[in-house]
A and B are shown apart, each in its own frame.
Chain A
Amino acid sequence: MGHDINSHMEGTMGNQSSRKRRSAHTRISTAALALGAVATAAAFGTAGAGAAGPHATAARTLDLNDSASLHKQNSHGLEVKEAGTAKGTLGGPLYLQLVLHGTRSVTAQVQVYPKGGSISGDANASYHVAGATASFSGTMTITKGSGTYAKAKASALSFSGTIQRSNDAVTVHVSGPISY
């Protein structure tokens, strides 16, 4: 039986990062927070909706910059499932499902489980083979999140990596701004 990559969506949601974040927020002045909220809302095109509500909360942003070295869990036909641990801004267990299309393109589903929640995304990339290594490069969109990252949003994140063709070991790198 193949391992269902989506089963990892049921991960536990810790609260450590939430506490850290609340602590950090107390050190930020009200003015700076308000300015940041406006800037963030404007950047993600939600200024109207976000500012209107009496209980509106500012979307938080971070510059994602995570990499992971993955090993093959299994493959079936044109699908390869990989697992490993991401290091970087979020960190945590990361699962990648690559689906190859024709000779030059790949789609991927990514799930990462940082402390306090999870983030899932879909990616499209071009694919190039060069001897022992293949590489892919494209963009990723966050499709959903949970816990701390329940409202995670991002599109056109940079998504790239390499595949060692002899054993399907993958490195993957995702970067770009996300709001949550």
Chain B
Amino acid sequence: MLGPLALSCLLVLCGISASAQAAETVALQTSFTPEKLGASTTIGFGFTIGSTTGGLPSPLTHVSLHMPKGMNYVTTTLGLAICKPEALVAKGIAGCPANSRLGFGSAFVEVPFGQGAGREIPEIEALMGPPHEGNIVVLFYANGLAPVYAQIVFAGELLPGEGAFGGDLDTAIPQIPSVTNGPPVSIINVKSTIGPEHLTYYKRVHGKLVGYKPQGISLPAKCPKGGFPFSALFTFLDGSQVVAAHNVPCPPPTPHKK
């Protein structure tokens, strides 16, 4: 017999909704590139949402991504410029300075018109937004193509972490309409990065703009036992919630030079 605690632990580990009516499942993936202790890195995170019944999962409304502590979230030079949400809405990514870019990714959504009606949102950009109550704000810009033709801006706020976590990227996900006044699409898969990989920033040197790679979030010099823990709480439109976790394993020790 499983006790209540054991049962809830199993539900969390498997990323299955604890709600009796909900049927969402979530698999979280996280990574560091490069995976070198004490060095600047790019954080990769992604998740895949499924349904135990085989149908479309309920639309996602909120993600709270807990990131490991000991990482240097503040001395990074990512986000030296601020992207204003109104400029992003009006002009798209062209409305924001290059030095506000934090990362990018893509998503795959399904419209509620039957199985197989999936569409990729090939462009998701992460940008530094205006701070909110002193917290770093990450703006996400999703540029959807037909039939999910929508340019959507939403914000995640980097909150102080607790326990094993050093930061919590708290993001409300807007509902993406499948068609005008239609039901929202279901997010199936999201991949994104926060970090300098494939980013170029610019600074003026002797009057000329010079490109350079910004400093990313740095890994600590020591890896915590068991690796770097990530955890995320997913909330769905039907009210159900799912917790998913993933550890980035410790990198192999670097051989000492003689």
Contacts and interface: CB of A to CB of B under 8 A. Distances in A.
A170 to B, nearest CB: 12
Interface stretch (B2-10, B58-66, B131-139, B148-156): B131-139
A20 B161 CA distance: 52
Contacts of A128: 131, 134-135
A131 B80 contact: yes
Interface string B161-189: 10000110000000000000000000000
A161 B166 CA distance: 23
Interface residues of A, number: 20
B161 A102 contact: yes
Interface string B221-232: 100000000000
Contacts of A60: none
Contacts, number: 61
B38 interface: yes
Nearest to A80: B75
A95 interface: no
B105 interface: no
Contacts of B203: 166
Interface residues of B, number: 29
A134 B136 CA distance: 10
A150 to B, nearest CB: 35
B135 A104 contact: yes
B14 interface: no
B74 interface: yes
B136 to A, nearest CB: 5
A77 B218 contact: yes
A46 to B, nearest CB: 37
Contacts of B160: 102-105
B158 interface: yes
Interface of A: 75, 77-78, 80, 100, 102-105, 126-132, 134, 165-166, 168
26 contacts: A75-B75, A77-B38, A77-B72, A77-B220, A77-B221, A102-B69, A102-B166, A102-B167, A103-B74, A103-B136, A103-B160, A103-B167, A127-B74, A128-B131, A128-B134, A129-B74, A129-B79, A130-B82, A130-B131, A131-B82, A131-B100, A131-B128, A165-B75, A165-B77, A165-B80, A166-B80
